[in-house]
Amino acid sequence: MTESSMPRPGNVTTPLLSVKGLRTWFHTFGGIVKAVDGVSFDVAPGEIMGLVGESGGGKSMIGFSIMGLIDPPGRVEAGSIEFGGRDLARLGEDEMRSIRGKEIAMIFQDPMTALNPLYTIGNQIEETLALHTTLSARERREKAIEMLHKVGIPQPEQRLHHYPHQFSGGMRQRVVIAIAMIARPRLLIADEPTTALDVTIQAQLLRLMRQQVEESGTSLILITHDLAAVSQMADTIVVLYCGRIVERGPAGDIIARPRHPYTRGLIDSIPHETDIDGAKRRLSQIPGNVPDIRKLPPGCAFAPRCPRASGLCRMQDPVLSEREGTGDGQGPRRLHATACHHPLTVSP
């Protein structure tokens, strides 16, 4: 584990989800892909946790691990996933099936993999309801129409009869969101839920999710590369790089005062208005590429790309260590943790 296992005094709310030392590896011919490699975090009831990080960094695989959907050659090698008193990593498929969709639902990144091309959208929403509720057929239909309406699909009565390929990318994404939210799960894992949506509908759906969090106390793990969206929504942010947490803390703190050089690099890569004229056209990017995760160098995985790297970084793994967040001092859950030997200091 790269995690410091300090006790957290004064932490009264029991987390709904507590992931400890999770390792999800894929055993391929070319070597072991350590997609998730020692990840720990807690999510409290009604908390929104943003999960950001590099493409291929292991965000979706964390979600899949929680859902018990890792297929061979992948495997949860180590760690625990405590959810409402049970360790999901140790449950059998039958037990997982009764939790999935009802207590924990996931909005999958790729809507087409979540939708069956052979059934109408209406069939698919009603099936979820039939599985998890005792509503009558007529009530299910009404509920389906109401939910499609809530996610902003025009003429839902007619659209119920359409097949997935007859929807636009963003409409499919909204259908998947409707299906995931309809059974009012206790934990919602939303994997890039709004990437295919324009900003007005994105705002509408983010509000809908937040409303469910506020009204039903649902916890939300929001996986996204959209830092603006995550900063709008999340209480805490977790930043992943090469399957490990490199930074974790209160959302406002992470965005305004990132400590890890990777997080800093991400924030600097967002296109800004100021690079429109004159020197336009070249965006700041983090130099180099993500290393082959089957053959990570010793020491810090970010060292080959890091402007602050030292000899120490190339030898020794930095450990995620917690420090008081500078922002809202809301107790120990709000600590700002960084895995870096030479973290950025807060500039005055």
Residues that bind ligand SF4 (CB under 6 A): 260-261, 300, 302-303, 306, 308-309, 313, 318, 340-342
User: What minimum distance in Å lies between the beta carbon of 269 and other proteins?
Assistant: 4
Distance, CA of 205 to CA of 91 (rounded, Å): 32
Q: Which is nearer to ligand SF4, 130 or 315 (CB)?
A: 315
- 6-213-219-324 Cα dihedral, nearest 10 degrees: -20
* Residues within window 216-245 making contact with ligand ATP, judged by CB under 6 A: 225
Question: Which residues 228-267 are close enough to bind other proteins by CB under 8 A?
Answer: 228-229, 231-233, 252, 255-256, 265-267
Q: To the nearest 10°, the Cα dihedral for 309, 310, 314, 315?
A: -140
**Which range touches Mg ion (CB under 5 A), out of 52-60, 139-147, 154-162, 335-343?**
52-60
Other Cβ atoms less than 10 A from the Cβ of 136: the count is 9
Four-point Cα dihedral 143, 66, 53, 253, nearest 10? 80
Is 154 an interacting residue with respect to other proteins (CB under 8 A)?
yes
Q: Which two tokens stand for residue 14?
A: 């029991």
Quick check: 138 binds other proteins (CB under 8 A)? no
> Token digits for 28?
């391929």
253 SS3 class: helix
Residue 74 touches ligand ATP, criterion: CB under 6 A: yes
Instruction: Give residues 139-178 in contact with ligand ATP (rule: CB under 6 A).
Output: 165-171
Q: Supply the minimum distance, in Å, between the C-beta of residue 263 and other proteins.
A: 10
Residues in the chain: 348
Region of 242 (left: φ > 0; alpha: ψ -120 to 50; beta: rest) is: left
Bridge-based pairing state of the strands 244-250 and 236-241: antiparallel
Q: Considering CB distances under 5 to 8 angstroms, the limit depending on partner class, which of ligand SF4, other proteins, Mg ion, none binds residue 199?
A: other proteins
- Start-to-end CA distance of the chain, whole Å, equals 33
- Choose among Mg ion, ligand SF4, other proteins, none what residue 97 binds, the Cβ cut-off being 5 to 8 Å by kind: none
Among 196, 267, 296, 309, binds ligand ATP (CB under 6 A): 196
Query: Is 202 within 8 Å of 229 (Cβ atoms)?
Result: yes
| Alpha-carbon dihedral 131, 134, 139, 140, rounded to 10 degrees | 0
User: Which listed option, Mg ion, ligand SF4, other proteins, none, makes contact with residue 300 (CB within 5 to 8 Å by class)?
Assistant: ligand SF4
Minimal CB distance residue for Mg ion = 60
Q: Report the partner that residue 93 touches, choosing among Mg ion, ligand ATP, other proteins, none (CB closer than 5 to 8 A by kind).
A: none
Question: Which residue, 53 or 111, is less far from ligand SF4 as judged by CB?
Answer: 53
**Residues in contact with 199: Cβ distance below 8 Å, sequence separation at least 6, in sequence order:** none
Q: Which of residues 286-305 bind other proteins (CB under 8 A)?
A: 286, 289-290, 292, 294
Q: Between 93 and 112, how does the x/- string for binding to ligand ATP read (CB under 6 A)?
A: ----------------x---
What's the DSSP call for residue 303? G
Of 60 and 338, nearer to Mg ion (C-beta) is 60
Nearer to ligand ATP, 129 or 339 (CB): 339
Q: Which of 291, 249, 272 is nearest to 56 (CA)?
A: 291
CB 329 within 8 A of CB 11: no
C-beta closer to other proteins: residue 171 or 187? 171
Chain residues binding ligand ATP by CB under 6 A are 26, 28, 33, 35, 55-61, 74, 109, 165-171, 196, 225, 293
